[in-house]
Amino acid sequence: MTDGGDADGSEAGRDRPRLADSRDLDTVYQPAEDSRLLAEVAVDRIDGGLVCEVGVGSGYVARRVADETGACVVGTDVTSEACRQAHKAGVEVICANLVDPFHGDAFDAVLFNPPYLPTPPEIEWDDPMERALSGGEDGRAVVDPFLGSVGRVLAPEGVAYLLVSTLTGLDAVRERATAAGLAVERVRSESYPFEELVVLELGIQKD
């Protein structure tokens, strides 16, 4: 519903601005505090290799990692406009969901700044910025599928860097990661008035 209308076509729904307009944002998520935090961690901890950024958006994180680490970086995103912007930024990009297109053990590192804002179902709208920001009712609607799939594409010594918010429920994220066979380490965080942003390093659990 990119026009902001309700599913039933009500006048009230059509009068609502799209989420992107109401938040004064573009239709593709642009670099913000969370983007910069993830990029800084990735640049500090990645040393070349093959890297995938899931939810590549504008291409900011992927471009920094490629430029500052020498890594070969590919991005994925579910929105065509994000894919176009990332491509214009010089990022090789595939329009796809999460890591679905890739073979197993493909990447030395995977990066993801997911939609993590908890959003009640009654105020969710179907527009590009909703996809970029809303993590569903508990904030983990995209985080959980990512945790369930990222281990498949990590090389044996590969790592994933996942940015989450305390609004998302860090304990629940850790539990889901552990259940998916991933080891979890908190590597960096930044505090803001209403939340703490946290970068988690994920790796394959050792026997």
CB 41 within 8 A of CB 161: yes
Residue 97 lies in a domain: yes
Q: What is the pLDDT of residue 15?
A: 41
Q: What is the pLDDT of residue 27?
A: 67
Q: What is the pLDDT of residue 125?
A: 53
Report residue 176 CA to chain centroid gap. Answer: 16
pLDDT along the chain (207 residues), means of 10: 32 39 58 92 98 95 97 95 94 96 97 82 57 65 95 97 93 97 98 93 92
Domain, as residue range, for 125 = 31-204
Residue 125 lies in a domain: yes
Residue 6 lies in a domain: no
User: The CATH number of the domain where 154 resides is what?
Assistant: 3.40.50.150
Q: What is the pLDDT of residue 207?
A: 74
Q: How far from each other are the two terminal CA atoms of the chain, in whole angstroms? A: 47
Residue 17 lies in a domain: no
Residue 16 lies in a domain: no
Q: What is the pLDDT of residue 7?
A: 34
| Structure-derived torsion over alpha carbons of residues 143, 57, 67, 187, reported in degrees to the nearest 10 | -20
Domain total for the chain? 1
Q: What is the pLDDT of residue 31?
A: 77
Instruction: Name 67's Cβ contacts closer than 8 Å, sequence gap at least 6.
Output: none
Residue 127 lies in a domain: yes
Q: What is the pLDDT of residue 133?
A: 63
Instruction: Name 24's Cβ contacts closer than 8 Å, sequence gap at least 6.
Output: none
Residue 25 lies in a domain: no
DSSP label at residue 117: B
Q: What is the pLDDT of residue 127?
A: 55
Residue 21 lies in a domain: no
